[in-house]
Amino acid sequence: MAELTQRRAALGRVARGGVAGLTGAVVAALAQFALVVVVTRAFPAGQAGAFFTVTALVLMAAGIVKLDAGNGLVYFIARASAHEYHGISGYIRAALVPVTGAATVVGVLLYPWLGPVALALPVMAVADVLLAAGRGFGALRPTVLLDGVLLPVGQLVLVGAVALAGTSPWLPGPAVAAAWALPVAWALPYLPVLVLAALALRGRAPRTPCLPGAGRDLWRHTAPRSVAAAIQAVFQRFDIVIVALLAGPVQAAVYTAATRFKIVGQLANQGLARAVQPRLVRTLADGDLAGARELYQATTMWLVLLTWPVWLAYALTAPWLLRLFGDDYGAAVPVALVLAATMMAATASGMVDVVLTAAGHTTASLRNLVAACACTVLLDLALVPAHGALGAALGWSAGVLVKNALPLWQLHRRYGLRPFGRHSLSALRLRTWATA
């Protein structure tokens, strides 16, 4: 009985952390949607598509140079909580040094093609690592406030200011604003996020001697996930780049606008995952399979209840909603329908990859992502030239389904875990949320 009470209390803490994460996800999703509306309304489709392509390339590069060091830190810090975080500062340094170096080198190399926005890569990568380290210590608030609110709202404000100034005398015109000022405005908010993330972590990470082999242990665990994170970063945004290359920037703008709502599902899943990941790591490290099953099924139910109404509403209102971006974007309704159906299926799988990696199966996660990305790229190459944005949506959809189906089967085979079960309905009880 005591064990059940403790488990309920833990689930309640995860629920409250998930609510905070989801709140940040909602703010971020709304701000990013508004940013796309501003850009598509202020600039011709070709220029808007060029901006979306540049930012997609920067985010892809950032996802690669982060080396997934943040999730590696969450894993080690969460497991070390019972040992008073001895040596944890050594793990943080072991994560920051290679990430900073890789981001700096890649930023310099990409500067001739992407311009000043490429120099933001070290700031983006280091900020992500610092926020992740804070989550490992159980501090979710800095991530919610900085990454979920300050960053997207700051991007919206600065990009909106550039869009308004694009017609003023001191800028040569909208074309120049779209070419360099928009990407720079989009990247600037990462700087205060970095500074504030460092300040938030400063009081939490004790200065202790570096444990022998800390860096080796961190990167032995993280190396497969570094490759997987790079593939995931490519998987999430490569479709925009493919559409731009094979169908032109106008189709890239249409595709970006129609699929902008997928950020709702991604951020909702990310917000809840950030709250539950440390708890999952501890639960699985202790061999508490029943606790892991309850966390997985409860969070899956929360995701379904929170996001399915959004996808259904988007599918029903897409013919009108897409016109917010401009009259030329109304033809992207089929893309929106594919997006809604795919995200509902993905949400029903729950945080399946988070559970797989929390159990230590980082290599299996890497193989799954390789299969999903290969599926997407092959279908995009086959469908985009003839079908444009719709072809990219179909390729992305197939990749998402593969990405969720493979770990679902692996978790069921290895641990008997399923996204739905007897704990699904118990997740709806109010006392779960209220338990201290």
What are 159-205's pLDDT values in tens digits? 999 888 864 444 445 555 556 888 999 999 999 999 999 999 987 76
Residue position matching structure tokens 């970095």: 194
C-alpha 281/C-alpha 273 separation (Å) is: 12
pLDDT category, 131, cuts 50, 70, 90? very high
- Which residues have CB under 8 Å from 139's CB, separation 6+? 200, 201, 204
C-alpha 397/C-alpha 310 separation (Å) is: 18
- Which residues have CB under 8 Å from 348's CB, separation 6+? 300, 304, 419, 420
- Which residues have CB under 8 Å from 91's CB, separation 6+? 73, 76, 77, 211, 214, 215, 218
The beta-carbon contacts of 391-394 under 8 Å, at least 24 apart in sequence, are: 392/239, 392/240, 392/242, 392/243, 392/255, 393/239, 393/255, 393/258, 393/259, 393/334, 393/335, 393/338, 393/339, 394/338
What's the pLDDT at 157? 96
What's the pLDDT at 297? 86
Distances (CA, A) of 174 to 51, 102, 182, 324, 325: 12, 34, 10, 20, 17
C-alpha 68/C-alpha 384 separation (Å) is: 30
C-alpha 51/C-alpha 408 separation (Å) is: 36
What's the pLDDT at 295? 84
Q: What is the mean pLDDT of residues 390-407?
A: 94
Distances (CA, A) of 96 to 190, 211, 219: 17, 16, 12
- Give the other-Cβ count within 10 Å of 305's Cβ: 12
Distances (CA, A) of 324 to 33, 38, 206, 260: 10, 10, 50, 12
C-alpha 435/C-alpha 149 separation (Å) is: 27
Distances (CA, A) of 167 to 43, 54, 249: 11, 22, 22
CA 191 from chain center: how many Å? 19
What's the pLDDT at 33? 84
- Give the other-Cβ count within 10 Å of 348's Cβ: 18
Q: What is the mean pLDDT of residues 310-330?
A: 85
Q: What is the mean pLDDT of residues 90-111?
A: 93
Burial (CB < 10 A; 0-12, 13-18, 19+), residue 74, is buried
Q: What is the mean pLDDT of residues 404-410?
A: 94
What's the pLDDT at 206? 66
pLDDT at 8 over 90: no
Whether the CB-CB separation of 63 and 229 falls below 8 Å is answered with: yes
Q: What is the mean pLDDT of residues 385-411?
A: 93
> Which of 183-192, 274-283, 366-375, 394-403 shows the lowest mean pLDDT across its residues?
274-283
For residue 203, the one-letter residue type is: G
High-pLDDT (> 70) share of the chain, %: 82
pLDDT at 45 over 60: yes
pLDDT at 26 over 80: no
pLDDT category, 434, cuts 50, 70, 90? very low
Q: Minimal CA–CA distance to 353: which of 340, 338, 364, 339?
A: 364
Tokens of 185: 């405005």
pLDDT at 343 over 50: yes
- Specify the DSSP class assigned to residue 392: H
Tokens of 295: 């966390």
Q: Minimal CA–CA distance to 266: which of 147, 347, 376?
A: 347
C-alpha 435/C-alpha 140 separation (Å) is: 19
pLDDT category, 249, cuts 50, 70, 90? confident
C-alpha 266/C-alpha 393 separation (Å) is: 16
Model pTM score: 0.75
What's the pLDDT at 7? 55
C-alpha 101/C-alpha 382 separation (Å) is: 37
Tokens of 104: 């700096």
Q: Which residue has the higher pLDDT, 76 or 385?
A: 385
What's the pLDDT at 169? 43
Report the Cα–Cα distance between both ends of the chain, in Å, rounded: 16
What's the pLDDT at 212? 61
Whether the CB-CB separation of 242 and 89 falls below 8 Å is answered with: no
Residues found in the chain: 436
- Specify the DSSP class assigned to residue 177: I
High-pLDDT (> 90) share of the chain, %: 32
pLDDT at 10 over 90: no
What's the pLDDT at 225? 76
pLDDT category, 77, cuts 50, 70, 90? confident
pLDDT at 435 over 60: no
Tokens of 301: 């139910």
Whether the CB-CB separation of 242 and 392 falls below 8 Å is answered with: yes
For residue 367, the one-letter residue type is: R
Angle at 208 between CA 223 and CA 200, to 5 degrees: 75
Whether the CB-CB separation of 11 and 434 falls below 8 Å is answered with: no
> Which of 54-58, 161-165, 213-217 shows the lowest mean pLDDT across its residues?
213-217
Give the chain's mean pLDDT: 82
